[in-house]
Structure 1
Amino acid sequence: MSRTFVALQSFLLKSSGLALDREKQYLVEARLTPVFRQAGLSGLDELVARIDTDRSLAKKVTEAMTVNETFFFRDRQPFEGFRQAVLPELLKSRARTRRMRIWSAACSTGQEPYSIAMILDEEARRLTGWTVEIAASDIAETVLKKAREGVYSHFEVQRGVPTPHLLRYFTKRKDHWAVNETIKARVEFHQQNLMSDFSRLGMFDVIFCRNVLIYFAREQKSDVLRRLARCLAPDGYLVLGAAESVIGYSQEFKAHPEHRVILTRRSAAATEYLRGGV
């Protein structure tokens, strides 16, 4: 491996938790060529040499190398699990306060939090009198800008949006579709690097953190899971991606009995026992 690639590996691991395998070297040139050209630099060597001292350039490199693949109701199972298992339990356990907070971490261009908002709107009768907050975050300001605008191409809405939802929750704008204001108003977007302190966002009853930790190195993945647990209510739920697992990375969660990608927190005593503390 070249010194440039090794330096880039180290930078991405520290800045975003991304573990860049040597097999992914082909991605580097494809994604970073537009960045160094826009900056007027001679090539990757000069780009990587400058990212430690140029914060703006470092941010652009991180955003370019971050995976932003997403679509509405992606994988279906987590959303059905949220509707069928998580929501009914929270309606019972939060009946006194009638408050619920949900976080869509690494939300990319917004399809996940808007999918959650559509489910909540469909369940509006059961949530009468409730205050439900949806926070959504991503490391990249560029994708957050699109998420806040809530405007998607025909191809993007075709990927996951059922026709009844399209007619009910979107407005046609020439060759694009805009999320209606009722759904947009349910989501508050934040710029947030999962490698940084996210405790400022507060406590949540449900955290969707899907298809992002799979790209993290072991140590960074364990650290993020530990801090996610601290931001999750003791009886809250963590929702992971279909290919993700906490096995070998965290002992603070256990699988939901009916939905594999939905996790609950272990009791404090059980976690301490698994750590060998009792």
Structure 2
Amino acid sequence: MTPSDYEYLRKLLKERSGLDLSADKQYLVESRLVPLARRVGLTDIPELVRKIKGGGADALTTEVVEAMTTNETFFFRDKIPFDHMRETVLPALTQARANRRALRIWSAACSTGQEPYSIAMLLKEADKVLAGWRTEIVATDLSQSVLEKSKAGLFSQFEVQRGLPIQMLIKHFVQVGELWQLNADIRGMVQHRQLNLLQDFSQLGSFDVIFCRNVLIYFDQDTKAAIFERLAKQLEPDGVLVLGAAESVVGITDAFKPYPEKRGLYRPNPGRTGRPLGGSAMPQTLKVVASAR
């Protein structure tokens, strides 16, 4: 792969998915795209780049973006956000929503579904509190292939052993050959939609809780700031944003403020100045043509 090929792919990935590759990640591109090139009958990455540049290769471009997207996930990942959800967020929201008796939760960049299904199982465990409530979980991702896997609710032995308590495996799954499938009632709690976080997502409506974990770390500061601005518009004034352990709004935006004494949780900031922090203005182009992550 030539330096110009790498620069072309870096720009393509930034525009299509927000992935901000540093100059020293050429090995990562090669490890993921050489197998893809060979699978589609091309000899190497330069030929892959020429194919994309030649036009009429939208499906191939999408495959390149999906191949470079990190889909690492597991059930109840990092545990603490789910403890906060069970012990703090749900009690507060059920009290605040007592009149309308409805909750909407968004799992952004949901990958193969472990996060939204963890949320669904958590809500199912709270069925006494939520009896008669309408609960809606919307799971989105850039990759259609991982969304299809998520919809099926089928997981390997390795996948169900990562973070899933044994009692929940027994209660909410059935064994299908060597795989485990979530029961239909849990699968039915989650709606799947293909979505790119770089694109407008106002059509999703407003949410009481937004999980947007372990994806913003791959974006540059301006892109993060722009996404935070738009997330703030989709969150109810008393709603909660859940970020990953290595993510924060500090120095990026004042659209959110930390939830008191709850690491990883953030609330809309009513006293904000109304502008991103610590970077240039919001990116001029969020005109992404690829489908979603």
What residue in structure 2 maps to residue 248 of structure 1? 251
- For residues 212 and 195 of structure 2, the distance between their equivalents in structure 1, rounded to whole angstroms, comes to 13
Matched residue of 2:24: which SS?
Answer: helix
CA contact (8 A) 1:105 1:209 kept: yes
What residue in structure 2 maps to residue 27 of structure 1? 28
Residues 36-51 of structure 1: matches in 2 within 5 Å? 36-51=37-52
> Counterpart of 1:97 in structure 2: which amino acid?
R
TM-aligned CA deviation for residue 250 of structure 1: 1.1
- The yes-or-no answer on 1:102 pairing with 2:105 is yes
TM-aligned CA deviation for residue 174 of structure 1: 1.9
What residue in structure 2 maps to residue 223 of structure 1? 226
- The yes-or-no answer on 1:186 pairing with 2:189 is yes
CA contact (8 A) 2:108 2:212 kept: yes
Residues 27-176 of structure 1: matches in 2 within 5 Å? 27-52=28-53, 53=55, 54-176=57-179
CA contact (8 A) 1:13 1:217 kept: no
Aligned residues: 274
What residue in structure 2 maps to residue 266 of structure 1? 269
Deviations 1:144-180 (A, max 9, x none): 1110000001110000111110100010112111011
CA contact (8 A) 2:225 2:276 kept: no
What residue in structure 1 maps to residue 260 of structure 2? 257
- For residues 118 and 80 of structure 2, the distance between their equivalents in structure 1, rounded to whole angstroms, comes to 13
CA contact (8 A) 2:253 2:275 kept: no
- The yes-or-no answer on 1:204 pairing with 2:185 is no
- For residues 142 and 41 of structure 2, the distance between their equivalents in structure 1, rounded to whole angstroms, comes to 24
TM-aligned CA deviation for residue 248 of structure 1: 1.7
TM-score by length of 2: 0.91
Matched residue of 1:46: which SS?
Answer: helix
Deviations 1:180-201 (A, max 9, x none): 1110000001111111111111
- Greater shift, 50-59 or 113-122, is seen at 50-59
Unaligned runs of 5+ in 2: 278-293
Which structure features the higher share of helix residues? Answer: 1
- For residues 134 and 65 of structure 1, the distance between their equivalents in structure 2, rounded to whole angstroms, comes to 26
What residue in structure 1 maps to residue 290 of structure 2? none
Deviations 1:207-249 (A, max 9, x none): 0000000011111111111111111111111000011111121
Percent identity of equivalent pairs: 49
Question: Residue 60 and residue 96 in structure 1: after superposition, are their counterparts in 2 closer, same or farther (change >3 A)?
Answer: same
CA contact (8 A) 1:101 1:205 kept: yes
Runs of 4+ with deviation above 4 angstroms: 273-276
Higher relative CO (CA 8 A, sep ≥ 6), structure 1 or 2?
A: 2
TM-score by length of 1: 0.95
> Counterpart of 1:17 in structure 2: which amino acid?
G
TM-aligned CA deviation for residue 274 of structure 1: 7.7
CA contact (8 A) 2:141 2:193 kept: yes
> Counterpart of 1:19 in structure 2: which amino acid?
D
- For residues 77 and 38 of structure 1, the distance between their equivalents in structure 2, rounded to whole angstroms, comes to 40
- Greater shift, 32-41 or 138-147, is seen at 32-41
- For residues 75 and 112 of structure 2, the distance between their equivalents in structure 1, rounded to whole angstroms, comes to 10
Matched residue of 2:175: which SS?
Answer: strand
TM-aligned CA deviation for residue 272 of structure 1: 2.2
